[in-house]
Structure 1
Amino acid sequence: MKLTELMDLKGICVGISLKEKDGVIDILAALQQKCGNIEQSKILKQDIFYREEQGSTAIGAGVAIPHVRSSAVKHAGITAVTVPAGVDFEAPDGEKSRLIFLVALPEEGGENPLSKLTVLLMNEDLREQLADAANEEAFLELLRLAEDGEYGEQKRSAVDAPVVLAVVNANDTDNTQALVQIQSAAERLGILLKTEMHGSENSEPFSDQEIAQAKGVILIGGGLSADRFDGKPILEAAAQDGIHRPEHLLHMVGEAPVFYKKTEPGKRDRQLRHPVFKTRIPLLPLLVLSGGAMILTAFITNLLGADAAVSAFFLDIGRYAYLLILPVMSGLIAFRYARWPGLAVGICGGILLEQSCGGVWAALLGGMAAGLMMRGFGLLGEKMPSRVRALTYLFPVIGLAGMGVLSLLLARFSLLLERGLTALVTSMQLPWAGGLLLSALSALDPGGPLNRAALNFAAESAAAGEWMAAITAGSLALTLGVTVFAVFRSKYMDPVQRENGWFGLLAGLCGYTNAYIPFAAGDPFRILLSCMTGAAAAGLLSVWFGCSVSSAIGGVFAMSTAGRPWWLLLAGIIGAALNLGLLIWASKITQKRLFKQKKQQAE
């Protein structure tokens, strides 16, 4: 069904003068009643306001599309108004909305025209002409022309431009907002963006010729299959990345991993990773950037002889920034599963887990648990009748309570784990074996029970200085290897990670092992194994060199109090070199495997 078949001249009003969003919604609902689509506008307005509370329906570029399924709707319909002065609909780009549509649908069934309307409004010329329409007849005629193809497709004169395909899950408004921003960015960059709204009956799938011509593919939203894009670079992105960083996505699509449908026998395709490993977005490296800058400032002011309170002030700021890394990581993982409700519960749960047991693995588990729990609640809420939908406000409360129970269980488990590992290390008779194990455990779980078990044993041992030195050397090998890899072997890192690699390097020199977490989040297994190997080698060498230090806190800046500090630094550098070498070797193997698959595909 065409969009214009759902519209009527009686449902359009151009040039209204209102400043408040509520007033615009009142007019749109009244127009629906005037067209005979509803009986009472009161219930419809309640449902619209409830939908607006869940998140803005403005898609940016001066357009807002409130949409709702309501028991008040008898027949699907679209009403529209233009507001020359604009109304604040909390658009992602901050621009006031001049062109506002209301899509009202029955509570059950019926075709949803939202995605088709969104794609149609991507054209800047059409948006401007609709917003400036002199009367209702001109407004409706412009939409008719657009549906006939005058504005719906990009101009064919741009066929020589680089082609990028965007597949968008049409079931989420945030995804359509992201698509509008990416389309605008593509026009500025001279890129021909072709779109497909997955889940919309009005959107045609890409042809084989379009796929063959494409430079790469961007997938926005979950539940999207990549099988038909075999041999093409595929970049999976969250809606928020498209809304706030569209040009970055278009630049990155050419550097994305090439997806191959067929893999070696018995091996699962890992090109498109599980949501747990899709945390490679700017927020985590920026925490390293800000925290590392504050920590560096603290050490510099201390070296310059400033008052101790000044150094402590900057050190506390940096420390708190680093304490946020794991809770934010937990929240981002939950966000991949359940959007904003998942983010809120994931961050709160991450803070609880940080206080109870901490560590990378607790953050991963907490993020998955929060995301899956809130996603399940979301599916339950969709099936609830509108009259009891207010109960959905209890879901975050229940989710947070569930995270509290999980934190108690993990706290008990981590305590048992610490005791068991302490007993294991105590039973070791060879000093070098203890140094190797302690440094490897610290690398395996920064800030978690394994790390604490290593530190507690080292502090209480008769040979505390040797064990602390082993952990210090392992921490240096861990962070130096990863951050140097991020800076100089940057193909497997995001641009933001590359830019912030230097601050991660400085944080690593200060002994903050959490600095490597954002860089390892995208490919944890390869990086984690390399880091453990490098840290274990550094710890072994530290014991062999006879190094000692009173505390594992402070990194290279605490080496002035160490026994044989230059040998301790050498052990850390050798371990970092081994870590870096393993990372480079693993990346070359990955490149060869991808090249081989690409060659086989071409044949």
Structure 2
Amino acid sequence: MSELITAELVDLDLSAETKDAAARSLAERMVASGRVTDLEGFLADVAAREAQMPTGLDGGIGIPHCRSAHVSAPTLAFGRCPAGIDFGAPDGPADLIFLIAAPAGGDADHLSILSTLARHLMDEEFTGALRSVTDPARAASLIRGEEPEAETGKAGPEQTEPEAAPASEAEAEAAAEAESADASTDTPALASAQAAAPRPSAGEPAPDALESESPAPDAPVSETPFRIVAVTSCPTGIAHTYMAAESLEKAGKAAGVEVVVETQGSAGFERLDPQVVADADGVIFAHDVEVRDKDRFAGKPTVDVGVKAGINRPAELIAEVRGKAERGEASAPARDAAPMDKGGDAADGFGTRLRKWLMTGVSYMVPFVAAGGLLIALAFAIGGYTIDKAPSVADHFIWTEATSWAALLFQIGGVAFGFLVPILAGYIAYGMADRPGLVPGFVGGSIALTINAGFLGGLIAGLLAGGVVMAIQRVRIPPVLRGIMPVVVIPLISSAIVGFLMFLVIGKPIAALQKALTDWLSGLSGANAIILGVILGLMMCFDLGGPLNKVAYAFAVGGLANPNEGSLKVMAAVMAAGMVPPLAMALATTVRSRLFTKTERDNGKAAWVLGASFITEGAIPFAAADPLRVIPSAMAGGAVTGALSMAFGCTLRAPHGGIFVVPLIGQPLLYLVAIAAGTCVTTGLVILLKGMHRSRDARQEAAADTAEEGKVTVAA
């Protein structure tokens, strides 16, 4: 923390009575040192931050802080107020006040200052040294963590205080011991704190001796200590996050409890090892924002409190969670995962994890697809297929002309569509590496657009970005740098690496492959087109909205970014096949209702609307109840529809909409014939298979009844 605080920024006799007055007094020192340009503007920012959450901590500490446009350099000012000032701490006024100022764009500086100070403030010897220090220069040196200049008995011309020299032989001996510790310790701030800390009186055992004292030979030794996992988080910065973590870890050591903490800071987090979570005997949540991935900890004894409780009363929290464990109390079990994620855990293979990463990207991309695609489709419906040649509406817009409105819709949709590849790449990386993956993911996706690598390039860029960030996160770093890693170091390094690879190494080959794929789709005709339609139909109906369905859909949508005859045929086949399963189940429940339960018949009514709207998931309730009959039937119908759509040469410019975008479909009547044919095939197969199953069950019941009657006759 060099240069963040100097002697001029230290006031050891702060005479303020309120927190506003204390902030003003310290801020005036910052203005005098040229680090704050506008006193009133800066104080307004401090007050706004204070209004969000009190910055007082137990132990007599206040840490008002803010980011402000009126700060020219990261700065820390320290004031000591013997009378105490109320900063909202539960245990009363604060006598140690730290005012932290960071530039408006200096998130990394802000986080670094707070995290470094947070670690020091959890050290009682450090705060004790600040309460006893008499020289502002030494106070600044202590806070910076540098080797301080010892406060010796060499009095200056004006120094006449008797305490310059030890008042007794015992104190002289204590001072000598302090000097020895000061010379041997590895941490200057800690050493100086030890030098200033009070020593035990004569005849009282030293703390070190108590800590090093061996347990009695007969004392029972637990081979497996009580294990706790904790999550700490706060809404702004990382000060409270890291202070709570440090406090819980120290209290755990004092209680003989193994505590492992996951700090969910303001810029991403590193998940605890799943095995550590599985082996834990209890959980502590000390947080002021929602705990991410909370379901990992479900089913264990849990204490859930605010982050300040983790700082102020860690021993109580540990005792509370141990008590819950002894009583067998546990949190509610985890909620059911989505179908694609059920059964997933840390032991999932690479294929399973890859599927989840890709699905994350696709799920975030779909809303942009729907918004942009439907706006473009409406534009074509209103203004015709030449609307893409219209000038920018920013330069030419006539309120009374329909073509101008069509151009407006087309251009808004085009902007939304322009996000598809960056969103896909960014959220694939997010699925792999959490928030630190977003920046390189978006950068890689944008580069994919720049070099015409398209949808395929975005997919590769997302995987690259996530992999690079995961590799960087494996590097061990000093705790002081943890705060700036997610917001400065990781985005900088990962973006540079991903950009280099996309521009100069793999981008051009991917762009060439994308062009070859586009050309192939453009030339599809005859048997090749029909085979592709069959494959796409099977994929759309295999898992009814699951991974394979989304892969086929994403493949079709990717082609709309640079549309041609082939890609428009693919989009038409995919949507047609996706409409078949819910429509077929709705028809089956209408034609042969006695084969279905009342609940299924009710679901069938809703499936008419879902199928017509291209929501394949409308068939999931039927597939879940009878997968061996419903899914193969749906796949057969989807394959027929996909093949017919391709054979008829149907095209579609809208990525969604079902029958509501029929006017935008090439060969619309034949398109409806293809959907009807697939629906009838699936309906017929479902009725046939369910009827055979019901007949077999009836025969088995009849045979059982006959056998029972025979037994009764013999007995008679």
Instruction: Give the TM interval when normalised to the shorter protein.
Output: 0.3 to 0.5
Task: Give the TM-score of the pair, scaled to structure 1.
Answer: 0.45
Task: Answer with 1 or 2: which has the greater Rg.
Answer: 2
Task: Give the TM-score of the pair, scaled to structure 2.
Answer: 0.40
